[in-house]
Amino acid sequence: MSQPRAAKVLVIGYVWPEPRSSAASGHVMQILETFLQQGWDITFGSPAGAGEHPADLTALGIRQVPIELNNSSFDAFVSELAPDVVLFDQFMMEEQFGWRVEKHCPNALRVLETSDLQSLRHARHQRLKERLKASADLEDFNELFAPALRQEFELMADADLAKRELAAIYRCDLTLMISEVEIDLLVQQFKVPRELLHWCPLMIDVPTRPATRFEDRAHFLSIGNFRHAPNWDAVLWLKTTIWPLIRQQLPAAQLHIYGAYTPPKATALHNAAQGFHVNELGRGCLASHVRGQGVPGSLALWRGYQGQAGGCAMLCGTPNVTTPVGAEGMHGLEPWPGAITRTAQAFADSAVQLHNDRTCWLDAQAKGLQLLGPRYRQAEHGPALIRRIEECRRNLGSIRRDNFTGSMLRHHQHKSTQYMSQWIEAKNRQPQ
């Protein structure tokens, strides 16, 4: 009996994956690796330019194909490829290419990988700006850190970005969500059918080797790609408010800020006399997120940067101090491996305690590894993702019949997007 043909997958990336630079790219790589384990044939296309730290997809057996926005060359490409599954990395790629995929490959399963809800990040950013307009005091962010789902919904509901993002979710056959909190927000407040969503968190194999001992650790570490705006907010809060409070108690302490695409405004914060080091390589990890969404990958997984193998927080046995936003979606009902704080003073006090108290540090380290094992195990989430995709492929007709809202949105949005894209393409062909 002949073996079934391996699925042919097209991934359309907002950027080329850089797992050494961002947790979002790391998550995309985990998905790609899961597909490769099935023997699936994978093509990765992106309209983005090359980054500084790209993954070598070709070495993994993944074809890399540059694609263009607003160009009918994609039509011929996707028709010839004839994928069984098309995965859009972020909703903007579904907006750009979804109508072309539907037109030329109508039977392909369309999957959206959100990484995080962009509209939730935007809503929190707006709330932060309003808070800063009212007061420049960064000491107490309680009103930012304790929103209910209903409050988040009210922040997002009137925003164009939320409408665009949710429309893309409806237009796809399946959407991968990294955070259970975001799933609850979409289901409870926006009334998105739960069957359109699949929880696909970071997929991690917890190391069996012992973590570095407390006695062999020193100082503090914060990691985050500077292209992710919430990471910049976090660094600013550390610099202006939290780090001075820590140094009052630990005058010799050093903090190392480490992240890809460090802009001049970040390197300008470097001050060795204050123990504040930017872009260097910790006994503790500080994740002072005051806005953002999804799952802060720096707390769970870091694959190294500029060739240096490394780990951060839970994966390498480093306790951490964070905020409710920083911990959101990460630990479910499990205890947090460190401290979750709501004010700058509480943040600083918790960091100092973890730094000085060996018993407290070891307890937090153990909780981190206990959390990662059951919750993020690749051996469970990888096969679960494959099963869900295969189930959707088998039941594609009924999924689309039941998703009338998605059908309606595709009809209207794709027409407008199609005409706009064709107009841009025609305009680009005109001699300048």
| Fold entry, domain 214-376 | Rossmann fold (3.40.50)
Q: Which of 348, 322, 352 is nearest to 337 (CA)?
A: 322
| CA neighbours closer than 13 Å in the CB half-sphere of residue 310 | 22
Burial of 306: CB neighbours in 10 Å, binned 0-12, 13-18, 19+ = exposed
The structure tokens 């920083």 sit at: 326
Q: Give ∠ CA 427-429-430 in degrees, rounded to 5.
A: 70
Q: Residue 252: helix, strand or coil by DSSP?
A: coil
Euclidean distance between CA atoms 230 and 232, whole angstroms: 5
Structure-model confidence comparison of residues 395 and 153, the more confident one: 395
What per-residue confidence (pLDDT) applies to 303?
Answer: 26
* Selected residue with higher pLDDT from 412 and 396: 396
pLDDT reading at 343 higher than 60: yes
Asked if pLDDT for residue 102 goes beyond 90, the answer is yes
Confidence of residue 309 (pLDDT cuts 50, 70, 90): very low
Rounded to the nearest 10°, the torsion over CA 173, 177, 180, 181 is: -100
Mean pLDDT, rounded, for 393-407: 94
* 301, two tokens: 């997984």
Q: What is the mean pLDDT of residues 153-171?
A: 88
The alpha-carbon radius of gyration of the chain (Å, integer) is: 22
Q: Where are the domains of the chain?
A: 8-118+151-203+378-429, 214-376
**Cα torsion angle, 97, 98, 103, 105, sign:** positive
In this structure, are residues 275 and 298 in contact, taking their beta carbons and an 8 Å threshold?
no
Average pLDDT over residues 415-427: 67
Q: Which residue has the higher pLDDT, 408 or 374?
A: 408
- Contacts of 362-365 spanning 24+ positions with Cβ under 8 A: 362/214, 364/319, 364/320, 364/337, 364/338, 364/339, 365/211, 365/214, 365/317, 365/318, 365/319, 365/337
Contact 367, 337 (CB under 8 A): yes
Which one-letter DSSP state was computed for residue 261? S
What's the average model confidence in pLDDT over 84-96? 96
Domains 8-118+151-203+378-429 and 214-376 in one fold = yes
CA gap 231, 364 in Å, rounded:
23
Its pTM stands at 0.84
Higher-confidence position of 196 and 26: 196
Average pLDDT of the residues in 158-172: 91
Mean pLDDT, range 124-152, rounded to an integer:
65
For residues 284 and 338, give the distance between their C-alpha atoms in angstroms, rounded to a whole number: 9
The larger pLDDT score, comparing residue 348 to residue 4, is at 348
Tokens 């209207």: give the residue. Answer: 412
Q: What CA–CA distance (Å, rounded) separates 272 from 279?
A: 12
Where helices occur in 323-357 by DSSP H, the ranges are 324-327, 344-356
- The share of the chain scoring above pLDDT 70, in percent, equals 82
C-alpha distances (whole Å) from 366 to each of 128, 336, 337 are: 34, 11, 8
**pLDDT one-digit tens code per residue, 21-47:** 777 888 999 999 999 999 999 999 999
Average pLDDT over every residue of 353-360: 91
pLDDT of 198 strictly over 50: yes
| CATH superfamily, with its number, for domain 8-118+151-203+378-429 | Glycogen Phosphorylase B; (3.40.50.2000)
Q: Mean pLDDT, to the nearest integer, of 163-183?
A: 94
How confident is the prediction for the chain on average, in pLDDT?
Answer: 82
| Tens-digit pLDDT profile for residues 206-255 | 776 667 788 888 888 887 777 777 777 788 888 888 899 999 999 999 88
Determine the Cα–Cα distance for residues 278 and 146; give it in Å rounded to an integer: 30
Ranges of H-type helices in 115-206: 118-134, 142-145, 149-157, 160-171, 180-184
C-alpha span between 425 and 71 (Å, rounded): 6
More confident residue, 350 or 418: 350
Distances (CA, A) of 288 to 102, 141, 259: 42, 11, 14
Q: 191 pLDDT exceeds 90?
A: yes
Q: What is the model's pLDDT at position 127?
A: 76
pLDDT of residue 138: 52
Model confidence pLDDT, tens digit, residues 42-73: 999 999 988 777 889 999 999 999 999 989 99
